[in-house]
Amino acid sequence: MLRFAANVSMLFAEAPFLDRFALAARAGFAAVECQFPYEVPAAEIRARLDDHGLAMVLHNLPAGDWTAGERGLACLPDRVAEFRAGVSRAIAHAHALGVGQVNCLAGIAPPGADVDALRRTLVDNLRFTARAFAAEGLKLLVEPINTFDIPGFFVNRTAQCVALLDDVGEPNVFVQYDAYHMQRMEGELAGTLARHLPRIAHVQVADNPGRHEPGTGEIRFEFLFAELERLGYDGWIGCEYRPAGRTDAGLGWLPAGALRPRWRQAAKPPSISRSAPVTKAASGPAR
């Protein structure tokens, strides 16, 4: 059976960040993912995971100054030291939160930059990260992202990403495949998944257009989920979308049995700390 994780950077945004874990559990999720957890003490997030019986299955490496428009540092030759410092930070958070895989955003190619130099930097940084992660028992993921939402994003197609990982040459590096981004860039989602599934460790879903929940756009998710089942995909599927309304009202697209019914049947909703701030870690969407 396919396994689904709530992205608490984008789902349940009607509540402050730390309260979203309770809402995810009440909705029936057994796991969550998070884009950038670094603005909240890891111990506070860990406590929410433990309190609500949740696993965290993914977060991202630090990706630079988001408010300034940065979307990753890994391909930038003049930011190597900063990127590699972020690797240590990501390892510490992954261990504190029980996360086994961390995603890397390659970054935006500066106008007029030497593409070969950007790619060499990216390969070197990914190899460095993969080796550091391997020593800690972690997987490194790399996500292609569409250039309509993020113009100039350096890694933007599945085959490009797979070729990049071939050059990195480390066994613990995989693709993070986002159906929304790849529908916008290349289509043929089922065929791409079939060709590259051994290289894909994590899948994320949102519909197109609008990046709302599955069933609101053009992607045939029932077919896509059946294909993932047929292919034997055993990773998590991250629900990384912008809910069209309240999150809990838009979960009907999930396959039967995907959620834990005992949480849905709780006698009363979890306590929500309305005074808690919505932090930068939860201000998403991140990309």
**Could you read off the pLDDT of 83-94 as tens digits, one per residue?**
999 999 999 999
Residue with tokens 């992660």: 133
Where do the domains of the chain lie? 3-249
pLDDT digits (tens, 9 = 90+) for 95-117: 999 999 999 999 999 999 999 99
- Secondary structure class of 3 (helix, strand, coil): strand
Active site residue 143: yes
pTM, two decimals, is 0.91
Residue with tokens 């007029």: 112
pLDDT band at 204 (very low <50, low <70, confident <90, very high): very high
The string of DSSP codes covering 7-58 is ETTTTTTTS-GGGHHHHHHHHT-SEEE-S--TTS-HHHHHHHHHHTT-EE--
pLDDT band at 240 (very low <50, low <70, confident <90, very high): very high
Share of the chain above pLDDT 90, in %: 89
Count CB-CB contacts under 10 A for residue 11.
29
Count CB-CB contacts under 10 A for residue 104.
29
Tokens of 28: 């029936």
Active site residue 70: no
CATH, range 3-249: 3.20.20.150
Average pLDDT for residues 250-258, to the nearest whole number?
96
With 80 as the cut, is the pLDDT of residue 236 above it? Answer: yes
Give the CA distances from residue 232 to residues 136, 225, 285, in Å, rounded to whole numbers and listed in that order.
27, 11, 30
- Spatial contact of 108 and 70, defined as CB atoms under 8 Å apart: yes
* Structure confidence at residue 261 (pLDDT): 75
Instruction: Write down the mean pLDDT value for the chain.
Output: 93
With 60 as the cut, is the pLDDT of residue 134 above it? Answer: yes
pLDDT band at 79 (very low <50, low <70, confident <90, very high): very high
Amino acid at 8: V
Alpha carbons 122 and 168: distance in angstroms, whole number: 9
- Spatial contact of 264 and 25, defined as CB atoms under 8 Å apart: no
pLDDT digits (tens, 9 = 90+) for 152-185: 999 999 999 999 999 999 999 999 999 999 999 9
* Residue 41 CA, distance from chain mean position: 20
The string of DSSP codes covering 153-187 is BS--SHHHHHHHHHHH--TTEEEEEEHHHHHHHT-
**Catalytic residue of the set 143, 186, 222, 227:** 143
pLDDT band at 275 (very low <50, low <70, confident <90, very high): very low
With 90 as the cut, is the pLDDT of residue 285 above it? Answer: no
